[in-house]
């Protein structure tokens, strides 16, 4: 007679493992496809893949994603300059002044921002920034991305700051530290890894966003944003290029989209590698 | 530095709806150790948190009465000024985990611009010696505190407080979770600091034995009220109040 308990136990294990594999399979499929297809494009294009503008559609030549890559780097930089201080100060305010009514409102607002479709944020910035300026620009895109970044970074940093035991705050005050000194020298120091994670996760998140850029940066693929003055002009970004080129019937543009997808994936992975490398957990 | 007497009069503290301290009056003279003892929940920790205004951090706390640190009216003065003149050691050892052993001691003098360079080095050494920790850490001042034992961490917390040479040193059950060897060292440090610098030391303890070992005066609090206050010898040997007798006998 079979031991039913054993059989059931086995069956349970097999089903769990199978379902888990089913869940991660698409992820591996996507990654593998991006690596294989994108990899071959980048190898074919060589250095010019990173530097050239895209070739004419259907021309048989490849060109590159230079302007989009540069645009994405600019967007990352400017979005961080706008978004990081805003997110940090918001998180600090929410945690350190949690009793105040404004802090409670800020907490509700930032977490609701998480639920707003990012395409709406793009439309908002279109109305508020692009229309008055009279043109698309990387700056407008950065503003949209900073708004998208805000709730992610705020909630991560908030959790990191809240994780710092109260006794360290008391210790800081007990030696005569001001509130600012306690926040910046004690709390942020102890939570540094969580804070850095919040910032980098926010940056990684927005670098791969497409929707907020649809109505804001204007997909200008021919020129390179070389300096700060280019921020007020239309530009391009990798996710936008992928989104638009993947829908075209031209095989050379589709190839560029695959290559850009791999490039974007590598940039995001590099950000997370950086986080692991540079910031260690503070041991209590 | 002039000696500072701590004088508390008619102190009442409410936190939320509950009346934590009721008409508390006490004195702690300079150059001596005053022990505040009583069962847990009697308001001991709250009392010393009023003295250095850490009570301000507790939401919903209300304080009435008068606290004098020498001539400084502690409840009216700038809380940062009050805390700069007082040092505090907490129940759980809490050296800053992201700072080296050296920086943990140097942080106080640094933020108040009191010393730097070699002068700061000497101050750090003095504080670590005063806390009986120097011999154990002098070769690893650049290490982080997580490598220290609990008792060493607590002595580091003590050194951090001492580095500001506070005229008033407050300790909130500093040896409650500490090994016996470190406990002895901490007790010795406290007594030496009081005697050699004429500082006013107030230590909260829940064990009468510790109060008897190290204090010159005992304040016994029960349910937020002062039950008995006097020289340690008298309180321990001839308690005037029935409650004190019971507490000393381990019945409360």
> Is the pLDDT higher at A278 or at B78?
B78
Would B51 be classed as within a structural domain? yes
Four-point Cα dihedral B101, A164, A76, A275, nearest 10: 60
Alpha helices in A126-218 (DSSP H): 131-133, 138-162, 166-174, 179-181, 188-190, 192-207, 211-214
Mean pLDDT of A140-153: 96
Domain boundaries, position B203:
6-96+167-248
Mean pLDDT of A160-169: 95
The interface pTM score, or ipTM, of the predicted complex is: 0.94
Contact A53, A222 (CB under 8 A): yes
B54 to A174: CB separation less than 8 angstroms, yes or no = yes
For the stretch B51-98, pLDDT in tens is 999 999 998 899 999 999 999 999 999 999 999 999 999 999 999 999
pLDDT-derived band at A119 (thresholds 50, 70, 90) equals very high
Q: Among A216-220, B46-50, B71-75, which stretch is predicted with the lowest mean pLDDT?
A: A216-220
For the stretch B96-150, pLDDT in tens is 999 999 999 999 999 999 998 999 999 999 999 999 999 999 999 999 999 999 9
Does residue A69 surpass a pLDDT of 80?
yes
* Residue B222's CATH number: 3.40.50.300
Give A104 to chain B, closest Cα distance, Å: 15
Count of structural domains within chain B: 1
A189 to B98: CB separation less than 8 angstroms, yes or no = yes
Does residue A2 surpass a pLDDT of 80?
no
Q: Could you tell me if A171 lies within 8 Å of chain B, comparing CB atoms?
A: yes
pLDDT-derived band at A1 (thresholds 50, 70, 90) equals low
Q: How many angstroms separate the CA atoms of B124 and A154, rounded?
A: 38
Would B215 be classed as within a structural domain? yes
Give A77 to chain B, closest Cα distance, Å: 28
- Chain A partners of B111 at a C-beta cutoff of 8 Å? 175-177, 181, 185
Mean pLDDT of A125-142: 95
For the stretch A73-114, pLDDT in tens is 999 999 999 999 999 999 999 998 888 899 999 999 998 999
Overall size of chain A counted in residues? 284
Does residue A227 surpass a pLDDT of 90?
no
Rounded mean pLDDT of chain A? 93
For the stretch B108-119, pLDDT in tens is 999 999 998 999
Would B150 be classed as within a structural domain? no
B residues 167-226 closer than 8 Å to A (CB): none
Would B125 be classed as within a structural domain? no
Residue from A216, A69, A248, A203 nearest A139 by CA: A216
- Chain B partners of A175 at a C-beta cutoff of 8 Å? 83-84, 87, 107-108, 111, 160-161, 164
Q: Could you tell me if B52 lies within 8 Å of chain A, comparing CB atoms?
A: yes
For the stretch B166-203, pLDDT in tens is 999 999 999 998 999 999 999 999 999 999 999 999 99
Mean pLDDT of A1-16: 89
B217-222 and B225-231 strand pairing: antiparallel
- Nearest-by-CA chain B residue for A100: B59
Give B169 to chain A, closest Cα distance, Å: 11
Domain ranges (residues) in chain A: 4-41, 70-278
pLDDT-derived band at B36 (thresholds 50, 70, 90) equals very high
Mean pLDDT of A20-36: 93
Q: Provide the greatest CA pair distance for chain A.
A: 81
Contact A204, B88 (CB under 8 A): no
Q: Is the dihedral of CA A120, A241, A38, A205 positive or negative?
A: negative
Mean pLDDT of A120-132: 95
The pair phi, psi for residue B39, each rounded to 5°, is -65, 165
How many beta carbons lie within 10 A of that of residue B125, not counting itself?
Answer: 16
CATH of the structural domain A70-278, one choice from 1.20.1070.10, 3.90.550.10, 1.10.3720.10, 2.40.50.100: 1.10.3720.10
Residue B123: alpha-carbon gap to chain centroid: 20
The two counts, helices (H) then strands (E), for chain B are 10, 10
């Amino acid at each position: 007679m079979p031991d039913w308990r054993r059989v059931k136990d086995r069956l349970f294990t097999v089903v769990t493992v199978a379902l888990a594999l089913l869940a991660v399979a698409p992820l591996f499929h996507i990654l593998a496809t991006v690596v294989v297809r994108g990899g071959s494009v980048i190898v074919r294009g060589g250095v010019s893949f990173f530097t050239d503008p895209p070739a004419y559609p259907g021309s048989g030549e490849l060109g590159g994603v230079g302007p989009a890559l540069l645009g994405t780097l600019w967007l990352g930089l400017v979005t961080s300059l706008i978004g990081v201080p805003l997110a940090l100060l918001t998180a600090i305010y929410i945690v350190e002044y949690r009793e105040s009514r404004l802090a409670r409102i800020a907490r509700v607002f930032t977490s609701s921002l998480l639920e707003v479709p990012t395409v709406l944020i793009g439309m908002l910035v279109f109305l508020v920034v692009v229309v008055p300026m009279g043109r698309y620009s990387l700056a407008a895109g950065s503003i949209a991305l900073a708004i998208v970044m805000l709730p992610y970074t705020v909630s991560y940093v908030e959790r990191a700051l809240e994780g710092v035991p109260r006794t360290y705050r008391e210790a800081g005050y007990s030696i005569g530290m001001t509130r600012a000194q306690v926040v910046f020298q004690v709390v942020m120091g102890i939570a540094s890894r969580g804070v850095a994670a919040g910032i980098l996760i926010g940056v990684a998140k927005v670098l791969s966003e497409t929707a907020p850029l649809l109505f804001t940066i204007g997909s200008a693929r021919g020129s390179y944003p070389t300096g700060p003055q280019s921020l007020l002009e239309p530009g391009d970004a990798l996710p936008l290029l992928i989104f638009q080129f993947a829908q075209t019937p031209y095989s050379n543009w589709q190839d560029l989209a695959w290559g850009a997808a791999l490039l974007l994936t590598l940039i995001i992975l590099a950000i997370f590698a950086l986080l692991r490398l540079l910031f260690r957990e503070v041991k209590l | 530095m002039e000696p500072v007497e701590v004088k508390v009069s008619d102190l009442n503290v409410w936190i939320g709806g509950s009346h934590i301290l009721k008409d508390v009056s006490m004195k702690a003279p300079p150059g001596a150790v005053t022990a505040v003892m009583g069962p847990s929940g009697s308001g001991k920790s709250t009392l010393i948190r009023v003295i250095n205004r850490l009570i301000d951090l507790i939401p919903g706390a209300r304080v009435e009465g008068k606290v004098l640190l020498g001539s400084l009216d502690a409840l009216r003065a700038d809380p940062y000024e009050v805390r700069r003149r007082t040092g505090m050691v907490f129940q759980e050892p809490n050296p800053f985990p992201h700072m080296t052993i050296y920086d943990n001691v140097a942080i106080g003098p640094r933020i108040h611009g009191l010393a730097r360079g070699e002068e700061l080095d000497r101050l750090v050494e003095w504080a670590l010696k005063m806390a009986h920790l120097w011999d154990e850490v002098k070769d690893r001042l650049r290490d982080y505190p997580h490598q220290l034992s609990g008792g060493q961490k607590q002595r580091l917390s003590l050194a951090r407080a001492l580095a500001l040479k506070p005229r008033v040193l407050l300790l909130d059950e500093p040896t409650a979770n500490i090994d016996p060897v470190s406990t002895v060292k901490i007790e010795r440090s406290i007594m030496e600091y009081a005697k050699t610098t004429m500082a006013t030391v107030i230590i909260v303890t829940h064990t009468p034995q510790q109060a008897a070992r190290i204090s010159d005066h005992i304040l016994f609090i029960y349910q937020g009220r002062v039950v008995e206050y006097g020289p340690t010898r008298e309180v321990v040997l001839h308690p005037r109040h029935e409650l004190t007798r019971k507490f000393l006998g381990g019945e409360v």
